[in-house]
Amino acid sequence: MQPRSASTVLLDRAPWLAHDYARRLENDREGFASGARGEALVLTRAPDPIGALEPDRAAPSARRTLSWRPRSIIPGFGLTLGITLAWLGLIVLIPLVALFARAASLDASQFLDAVTSDRVLAALRLSFGASLAAALTNAVFGSLLAWVLVRYSFPGRRLVDALVDVPFALPTAVAGISLTALYAENGWLGAPLAALGIKVAFTPLGVFVALVFIGLPFVVRTIEPVLQDLPAEIEEAAACLGASRWQTIVRVIVPSLFPALATGVALAFARAVGEYGSVIFIAGNLPMVSEIAPLLIVIKLEEYAYGEATAVASVMLLISFVMLLAINLLQRWSRRHLERS
């Protein structure tokens, strides 16, 4: 090969393609030993095993690949995407397909009956309602907590910082038991609340409390880094322009944090929908009142009603997916200007 600089090699594309193609055929004949050389030569496009094996189809298919994938000097796209897809399929997609396949063992009317019974609807309502409420509550107080941790320094800040992660680390059953003990009518918090006529343990409110507990770190930890990057200068600028503290928060800080906040809420929500361990202790699990959908699924499984269990599960999955998608779109919409810089 003529000694040419890398840039000229990349620039004149057509002759290089032909050359590359010829080289590739040669490599195939030479077998695996010359693999390294082949890789160096085809750096600018994906390995195309089908094309390489069948020379007739190699050239057109290579051209097609190039048309949608920009040239990049960062190699490895094909390899990493392949592994990613395989792994995602193994870990996420195949179990999901199995779930739907199992649910499909019911016919349409059975499926409808299974997911529209009053008990199931009540459980779904509670699960999604309480999860959303808990996620939104965490959005408010989690932001505040993140704010305090980022913007101020006070004695014990590191301790507070560490405490935030406790719900991550604590086995959920432990969290459930301690929350139940705390909020039961004879508990430290339950007794005074009961005196006020508020029952927490063994009611939907108890479910909400447990979900707030487990969702908190998600919001705090997603907002924290964004808040750290938010210059204090923009708050000073707002103040110079005459904005009150409240106006600064509503008009400047919250909109700047919104994408991160949406991510945090989505994570907290997703976690809450799937939460089981902590909730079943504090909820009391009264059908139609404080029974969450995941528990209902377990109950159905214990009754060997696998079809019904998977039917409820697939409905949960669909609702979750739609809600997460909505949050993602909202996030993208709110971020549309920030990303252009």
Partner 1 sequence: MPSGPAIELKGVSKRFDTFVALDGVALEIRAGELLALLGPSGSGKTTLLRIIAGLEWPDTGDLLLGGESAVRRGVRERQIGFVFQHYALFRHMSVTENVAFGLRVMPRNRRPAEGEIRARVQKLLDLVQIGHLGDRHPGQLSGGERQRVALARALAIEPSVLLLDEPFGALDAKVRKELRRWLRQLHDRLSMTTVFVTHDQEEALELADRVVVLGRGRIEQVGTPEEVYGAPSNPFVFDFLGQVNRVRCQVRGGRPIVPYAHIEQLNGDPSRDGPGTLYVRPHDVILARDPAGPATVRFVGVVGPVVRLEIEVVMGAPVLEAELPNHVYAGYRFAAGERVSVRFRSATLFPDIAAGPEELSPADLSLLSASL
Is residue 12 a contact residue for partner 1 (CB under 8 A)?
A: no
Q: Which of residues 256-275 bind partner 1 (CB under 8 A)?
A: 256, 258
Of 79-87, 114-122, 134-142, 230-238, the window that binds partner 1 (rule: CB under 8 A) is: 230-238
For partner 1, the closer CB: 36 or 234? 234
Of 39-47, 143-151, 217-225, 229-237, the window that binds partner 1 (rule: CB under 8 A) is: 229-237
Binding residue for partner 1 (CB under 8 A) from 133, 136, 181, 239?
A: 239
Is residue 152 a contact residue for partner 1 (CB under 8 A)?
A: no
Is residue 242 a contact residue for partner 1 (CB under 8 A)?
A: yes
Is residue 153 a contact residue for partner 1 (CB under 8 A)?
A: no
Binding residue for partner 1 (CB under 8 A) from 234, 288, 318, 325?
A: 234
For partner 1, the closer CB: 302 or 339? 339
Cβ proximity of 135 and 268 under 8 Å? yes
For partner 1, the closer CB: 141 or 333? 333
Is residue 236 a contact residue for partner 1 (CB under 8 A)?
A: yes
Residues binding partner 1 (CB under 8 A):
231, 233-234, 236-244, 247, 251-252, 255-256, 258, 334, 337-341
